[in-house]
Structure formats: structure tokens, C-alpha cells
Amino acid sequence: MARASTRLPPFLLLLAATCAAVANAQLSENYYGSSCPAALLTIRTTVATAVLLDRRMGASLLRLYFHDCFVQGCDASVLLDDTPSFTGEKGAGPNAGSLRGFEVIDRIKLLLELICPGTVSCADILVVAAHDAVVHLGGPSWTVLLGRRDATTASASLANSDLPGPNSNLNDLLAAFSKKGLSSTDMVALSGGHTIGRAQCQNYRNRIYADTDIDGTFAASLRGDCPQGGGNDGNLAPLDASSPDYFDNSYFSGLLSHRGLLHSDQALYDGGSTDGLVRSYASNNDQFGSDFAAAMVKLGNLGVLTGAYGEIRVNCRAVN
């Protein structure tokens, strides 16, 4: 039986590209140059302090940005708390009990409201914080375009349906990214963000006990802290064991050795269409850095609210 195509129809791809181009035209690198000239320095120093105190925070801020942009676009919807009449995205399956960094965003917003009230959006704070976290951990820099506004809505259902899961296979990943107008190169490059950070036992348990495309010694080394029968679900293991707190291409070298922590990691190098790109990134850190930076710019243009759309929240956790 033929498998249904996961590609978007040409007219939808054209529409997505057009919308991205329009959004991009309304964003600018120096958006806060006159309205809040200290904004970027304030974000950078707060992120640097947070990462200095907790090296995991760099990866957490990058993941927070990704989980925001992949649901409704880069609109800070992921930051909204639940209320009696509103269900946000924090409790969705991919986010509950694992997303971190909210307090860092709160701290940045508090400072910016003191310096230039009602000016800098939470969506822009997320984008800049992710960039600064990557750079602070040794990763590439890129031009960050600014001028986003904040959503007044959120979608737990889209968070559950659109965010790729740790057990995704290659076709799942390609389809999820294609749905957002992102290419296979974007997908592999952005997956390289797993060069920093950790994952919970519940997300890699099946991989270390059931998958066959995994280095035996590597799997055995993880089983002590992640028992097969359950328990210790929150125990952490590095996504890139060789340099979990440094942004480089060693994540891809790990995939070549079948040491991907998550099933979705190893899916990038398992006899499929992305094997060649994984090999290229493993041997060329500059190529990985360049492609990652380009993909982060594209990700940052998804679903952007500008002009009269959205708002500038005073508190990133609640609509005005």
C-alpha cells in the first residue's frame, strides 16, 4: 500500500514562504535601537549570569525557544500560565515537567520593564535569549531580527500534535519540519542543538533497552540510572556525552558511533536520507554552525505577530 506523501501542496508552501517574507520585512536588527537601547545588553548579561550559575540553562533556553516557535510561531505563547478560564501550553505532553528557563525570562522582563516599560516583547526576549545562550556555550552567532509581538492565545493541542517526540522516526521528523516550511537540512541542523543539554530517563528508556541500532557499551552505561521496569523517570543523561555543555559538532560524531541518546537522535543516521549530512556535520563544525545559524533565523520567522497583531505583555506569564 502506497504511503501518503508528507509534502505540503505547492500553493501552501508558496503561502508559507510569502507570509515569512512579509513577517521578515517587518522585523529589523535595530528595532529597539532608540526605544530601548539597553535591551540587548540586558538580555545578554542576564543569560550569561544564568548559564554561569547553571550550565544546563543554556540548553533549556534554546529548547524553550524551539517549543515556542514550533507551536503557533514565535509569539511567546509557551510562556503563558494556565488560569481557571485558560489552558496554556506548559502542561502539554512535550512540555510538562521538562521545560525550564521561565524564571530567567521573568528576570529579563522585569529588568526591561524598569528600563523601558511596555516596549520589549516576551517573544523577542525568547529569541535573543536563545541566541545568547548558544553563543555563550561556544556556538555560532547570527543576525537576530526583532519586532515580534506577543500572542494573547496558546494551544496545548498544537503543542501535543506538532512538537516532534523523542521516539520519532526519520519520516516523522521530516514531516513535522516540512509542515513548518523547514527543510531536511534545517531539521538536521536544528537537531544538532542536542549537542547541549540532557534528557530524562522516561524519554530514552525504550531506546537503551529495545533499540538495536545503539552501541552496546553506551546502552549499558545508561541502564543503572534508568531501570527497565520503571522508576527514576526524571533522571538525566547528556544528549551529547562528550561535551554536554559546549556547543560543537560532537553530537553528530556520537551518531556515527550509534550513541544517539534518543531514538529521534539516532534516526538522523540510520541508513536514511540524512546520513550524508550527519557525516558532513561530524567532519565540519563550520558547516554545521553555518547551517544551524541559518535554520535558527528561519525558525525565528515562523508565525510572527507584528504591527497591530498581538500585544507587548507586561508579565510574560499572562496576557495584559
89 belongs to an annotated ligand binding site: yes
194 belongs to an annotated ligand binding site: yes
The answer to whether 206 and 233 have CB atoms below 8 angstroms apart is no
240 belongs to an annotated ligand binding site: yes
Catalytic site residue 258?
Answer: no
164 belongs to an annotated ligand binding site: yes
195 belongs to an annotated ligand binding site: yes
SS3 per residue for the chain: CCCCCCCCCHHHHHHHHHHHHHHHHHCECCCCCCCCCCHHHHHHHHHHHHHHHCCHHHHHHHHHHHHHHCCCCCCCHHHCCCECCECCCCCCCCCCCCCCCHHHHHHHHHHHHHHCCCCCCHHHHHHHHHHHHHHHCCCCCCCCCECCEECCCCCHHHHHHHCCCCCCCHHHHHHHHHHCCCCHHHHHHHHHHHHCCEEEHHHHHHHHHHCCCCCHHHHHHHHCCCCCCCCCCCCEEECCCCCCCCCCCHHHHHHHCCCCCCHHHHCCCCCCCCHHHHHHHHHCHHHHHHHHHHHHHHHHCCCCECCCCCECCCECCECC
Annotated active-site residue in 67, 131, 136, 263: 67
68 belongs to an annotated ligand binding site: yes
Burial of 8 (0-12, 13-18, 19+ CB in 10 A): middle
> Which residue positions form the known binding site for Ca(2+)?
68, 71, 73, 75, 77, 89, 195, 240, 248
> Which residue positions form the known binding site?
68, 71, 73, 75, 77, 89, 164, 194-195, 240, 248
> Which residue positions form the known binding site for heme b?
194
Catalytic sites, residue numbers: 67
> Which residue positions form the known binding site for substrate?
164
